[in-house]
Amino acid sequence: MTIQDWGAIGEIVGAIAVVVSLIYLAIQIRQNTHQIALSMESSKLAAFERNVESGNRAREILVGDAALADLFLKGAADFANLDPTDRFRCDMLFRILFSSLQGGYVRVLTVGGDVSTFSGPKSSVDALVRSPGIRQWLECTEPDWRPEFSQLVRERAAFFADRASSKNEQANAD
């Protein structure tokens, strides 16, 4: 055999090696893509479970203590007219509740969820900011929330304040 024959054989073996390497690489990429998809689903499930746990803890605070539930109702109705001690306690309670909601909102953002279609945190924020006392609290408080959550809360509070104002105007006109 001549050197040219050996060179031709080497080229054929090299070409086969390249094809085998490409097939192996394609298989590895496919497996990796599948693992990433499973990991994302696992992260989303963990975030959902964490949201449920966080929400349940916040609700347990109110359910487990009748005096605290009463304070929440009074503060939600009229935060501004609470006595200083109750105002402080109610402020802390509202912070706990909103902190729990912020955690859920941020978890949804973090795992790539679309918060505009995820109604969990938004509907819970709506349930709170619908109350005039909580809107009063928001006006006199600067919580250390993440900007995107703060924007959501402020927008939803403004929406319900506008609705309450429209209802009051209608009632006065009648």
58 Cβ contact list (under 8 Å, min separation 6): 96, 97, 100
- Give 82's DSSP letter: S
In this structure, are residues 117 and 171 in contact, taking their beta carbons and an 8 Å threshold?
A: no
Quick one: which of 105, 107, 103, 106 has its CA closest to 119? 105
Quick one: which of 43, 63, 55 has its CA closest to 109? 43
In this structure, are residues 61 and 93 in contact, taking their beta carbons and an 8 Å threshold?
A: yes
CA torsion sign for 24, 27, 28, 29 is positive
The CA distances from residue 52 to 38, 45, 108, in Å, are 21, 11, 12
In tens digits, the chain (174 residues) has pLDDT values of 888 888 888 899 999 999 999 999 999 999 999 898 888 778 777 766 776 777 778 788 888 889 999 999 999 999 999 999 999 999 999 998 898 888 878 877 777 666 565 566 678 889 999 999 999 999 998 888 989 889 989 999 999 988 877 766 666 665
